[in-house]
Amino acid sequence: MNTVTQNKKIPKRRWGIGALLGMGVLINYIDRIGLSVAAPQIKEMFDLTPVELGLLFSAFAWSYSLLQIPVGMVLDRFGPTRVGRWGAFLWGVASTITAFSSGFAGIFVARILLGVAEAPAFPVSSKATGYWFPRGERGMATAIFDAAAKFSNVIGVPLIAVTIVTFGWRWGFGLTAVLSFAYFIAFFLLYRDPSADPKLSKEELHYIQSGGAAPEGPSETGAVSMLGYLLTKSKVWGLTIGFAAYGYSFYLFLTWLPGYLVQTMHMSILKSAGFAAIPWAVATVTDLFVGGWLIDHLIAKGKDESVVRKSVLIIGMLFGLAVFGATQTTDPVWAIVWISIALGGLASAAPVGWSLPSLIAPKGGAGTIGGIMNFANNLMGAAAPIVTGLIVGATNSFANAFLVAGVILVIGIISFVFVLGKIEPIPDPEPAAPAPLPAH
């Protein structure tokens, strides 16, 4: 009996868990974008200055970025079940506080709390996917939750916009609070680590574990010792530098794409919103198809796992260099074609990046690696809109801003090729030696 036939007979509970994690990331990102949609009404109601509005926009990023490494360490100590539950509950609390806020201070505190609450979201999904999926299915499993982040830009903005225009900005945050609490209930009821899940069959558990799932439980090394150990490993630095380069371009498009279309392509705001949705829709498809299905398909065909993952990672980043094409055209259609190619390539590489913490980590280290990687990613995410704004302000053109993004992508590609090395687990650190007994 061949492997494909055997796999068809194995229960599919793990894919339900994968869908649950994807739904969480989708709601996570809808929570984040709510403020940008509601900003005009909030600015008018509370008579906010542009500086105050800028502080509100940035508050989430401060706490979210700074907590990435500590959250990764906590995640490796307590596991995705407990950390995921508390995080999802606090998403809803943050949205509720925003909905009832009476001014700048309340919204500012709520956005900082949202950054705290959502800091574990991607590391939890990455670590849980490592527990629940064999290595040969890790591509699609990771792509499900990573594509949800892209898809949120396709459906989240219209959903929140319609709610805010129809009922007012408070109801927009009321909607995200309801979605967040609904997810908390679903996660609380449905998610367990595989060894603790009463609905997971022995056959499926054996299939997951024998296929190279990440081992459950904390490391025998303490959290601080694990962090120090991982920071000495070139694989961790190769992944971190490469993924930070991806993050720069991703956040440039996330924050500046509509403004680029309005300023450079002379579109109306409404038309730019429609055009901007196209690259994100392309990114959703390439994320799932290339970063997910194609990788698992090639590995199932017997191709070398490390070669397949690194090839998609590097080729996807190379497609990201299509951003250079957008600097050479004044035709909005061609601009969207070039940006769709670039964002589609980056999106196909992204799930590979997010699958790597659980693929290269020693036991109990996946959350910490994910935290290190996402900390650097979000620092570049914070830098990208600022640097782009400075360049556009100085030159009145996006051409040089896109060139900078391309150069950073080249640095990331070099890091993935030469520093990351083969995609294989880092050896477990040596357990700490017991303290010597006192002399008598």
What's the CA gap between 65 and 119, in Å, rounded? 7
Is residue 172 within a helix (H) or strand (E), and if so which, with residue range? helix 169-190
Considering only 16-25, 100-109, 267-276, which range has the smallest mean pLDDT?
267-276
Mean pLDDT computed over every residue of the chain: 87
**Which of 386, 96, 408 minimizes the C-alpha distance to 248?**
408
For residue 197, what pLDDT is reported? 94
Q: Mind giving me the DSSP string for 331-343?
A: -HHHHHHHHHHHH
Q: Mind giving me the DSSP string for 50-68?
A: HHHHHHHHHHHHHHHHHTH
* Contacts (Cβ under 8 Å, ≥6 apart) of 424: 306, 359, 360
Q: Which residue has the higher pLDDT, 420 or 259?
A: 420
What's the CA gap between 352 and 333, in Å, rounded? 30
What's the CA gap between 321 and 166, in Å, rounded? 41
Residue 219 has pLDDT above 90, yes or no: no
Residue 5 has pLDDT above 50, yes or no: no
- The token pair at 139 is 């591509």
* Contacts (Cβ under 8 Å, ≥6 apart) of 189: none
What's the CA gap between 110 and 5, in Å, rounded? 51
Q: Which residue has the higher pLDDT, 328 or 114?
A: 114
Q: Which residue has the higher pLDDT, 142 or 437?
A: 142
Q: Is 206 exposed, middle or buried (0-12, 13-18, 19+ CB in 10 A)?
A: exposed
Average pLDDT over residues 414-421: 94
Considering the entire predicted model, what is its pTM? Answer: 0.80
Quick: pLDDT tens for 227-286: 999 999 999 999 999 999 999 988 888 767 766 777 777 776 557 767 778 888 999 999
For residue 420, what pLDDT is reported? 93
Q: Which residue has the higher pLDDT, 189 or 323?
A: 189
For residue 33, what pLDDT is reported? 78
For helices 305-320 and 234-263, give the axis angle rounded to 10 degrees: 30
Place of tokens 């396709």: 154
Residue 7 has pLDDT above 80, yes or no: no
Q: Is 438 exposed, middle or buried (0-12, 13-18, 19+ CB in 10 A)?
A: exposed
Asked whether the beta carbons of 385 and 326 are under 8 A apart, the reply is no
For 202, list phi and psi in degrees, rounded to 5: -65, -35
Average pLDDT over residues 414-439: 79
For residue 3, what pLDDT is reported? 47
Quick: pLDDT tens for 307-366: 999 999 999 999 999 988 877 888 888 888 998 999 999 999 999 998 999 899 898 888
Residue 22 has pLDDT above 90, yes or no: yes
* Contacts (Cβ under 8 Å, ≥6 apart) of 114: 31, 32, 60, 63, 91, 94, 95, 98
* 433 confidence band (pLDDT: 50, 70, 90): low
pLDDT above 70 as % of the chain: 94
Instruction: Tell me the three state secondary structure of residue 328.
Output: coil
Between CA 285 and CA 157, with CA 287 as vertex, the angle to 5 degrees is: 70
What's the CA gap between 433 and 420, in Å, rounded? 30
Q: Which residue has the higher pLDDT, 131 or 223?
A: 131
DSSP state of 197: -
What's the CA gap between 413 and 263, in Å, rounded? 30
Asked whether the beta carbons of 310 and 416 are under 8 A apart, the reply is yes
For residue 293, what pLDDT is reported? 94
What's the CA gap between 164 and 144, in Å, rounded? 28
How far, in whole angstroms, is CA 333 from its chain's centroid? 28
